[in-house]
Amino acid sequence: MEERTIFAFDTGTGGHQSQQDGVTSSNMLISLELEAAEKPASLTVMDAETHCHVFDLPSGEWFLGRSADNDIVLNNSCVSRKHLKITVSDNWRQVFIEDLNSGNGTFVDGSRVIQRQELFGGEVLNIGGSCLLRFLEQGNYHRIQYDRKQRAAHYYKDTDLFNRYYFDAVVDLHVRKSRFTQKQLSLILIDCSSIPEVIAPADPNAVEPLLAGLGSWIQTHCCRQNDIPFRCGDTLLALLLPETNISTAHEIALAIHEALARGQIFQDGGASMVLSPFLGVAAMRQGVMTGADLLSRAQEAVVSARRQKGSYVAYFVEKTGLNR
């Protein structure tokens, strides 16, 4: 069996590794391999700007390209709209790649893909001459390392909420897909900037645990199956609602506000905490071309909520340009 090295330890013993270090390294390798065995085949984007994005490849056919209707969208001008197809067998044991008559071609380890060919693991895919992906076969222990890097890059600190970097990428992708499919899409912003002003004077250390608890509560109690929660900053949370119109999104925002106003969030000591963040709602309408456009409308709705006396929730109305 081929020996593989994952970790290099500087033991300070003139280059000789102690038996204990060897046992530790072996245990870590076994742990990684056991964890990796539960993972399907995957593609990892080899681009620093993507912060190590990993795409799972369960069994079936997977289309890659620039168009928003692909399973994996590669937003690169050198990539064709429908560039290539990857087919994964039911047991994940066989994976095939096929170029779909793309303009700039598909290359595997430097060789152009002329016809359907099998991938075995570890190959570098060059898509269109500028987009690089690494294929990891099912069970490849490197997948766990990529997963950990991706989590560190995409999540807000130690929470289970996606961060602002990932928010920008995901919202923009969903806006593009919504424009292509004509399906509804809504966004709720939850502005908690007033919470530290109330809590910090009494206990500055209580602010972050409370906001982290609020994020976890929203994720647990407010998210439907396809909703995506984010923490975009120290005091800004967001909830992306695919296939949801603005009326439904507004009802969800009202429900969140009412629950928080009743003291649904609990502090570490067990005491309930009444919170009154401002919520802004926006949805896909004519003129929303990017994720930034949708975010801007939700931000305007938050400003409107702050201005309205006795109201903490507002939504952007595209027809009149007014917030309500």
pLDDT tens digits, 148-206: 777 777 778 777 788 888 888 889 888 988 888 888 999 999 998 877 665 655 566 76
Q: Which residues have a Cβ under 8 Å from the Cβ of 254 and sit 6 or more positions away? A: 313
Whether 159 and 215 have beta carbons less than 8 Å apart is answered as yes
* The Cα angle at residue 56 between residues 184 and 223, in degrees rounded to 5: 40
Residue owning tokens 């898509």: 127
| Partner residues linked to 125 by β-bridges | 108, 133
- pLDDT bin (cut points 50, 70, 90) of residue 7 is very low
What is the average per-residue pLDDT within 276-301?
Answer: 91
Phi, psi at 188, each rounded to 5°:
-115, 125
* Residues, the chain: 324
- pLDDT bin (cut points 50, 70, 90) of residue 323 is very low
* pLDDT tens per residue across span 59-102: 999 999 999 889 988 888 899 999 999 999 987 789 999 999 99
Helix runs in 156-290, H state only: 164-181, 194-199, 207-221, 246-261
Q: Does the pLDDT of residue 6 top 60, yes or no?
A: no
Q: What is the pLDDT at residue 52?
A: 61
Q: Does the pLDDT of residue 110 top 90, yes or no?
A: yes
End-to-end CA distance of the chain: 67
Helix runs in 12-57, H state only: 19-36
Cα dihedral angle (64, 67, 73, 78), rounded to 10 degrees? 80
Q: What is the pLDDT at residue 63?
A: 95
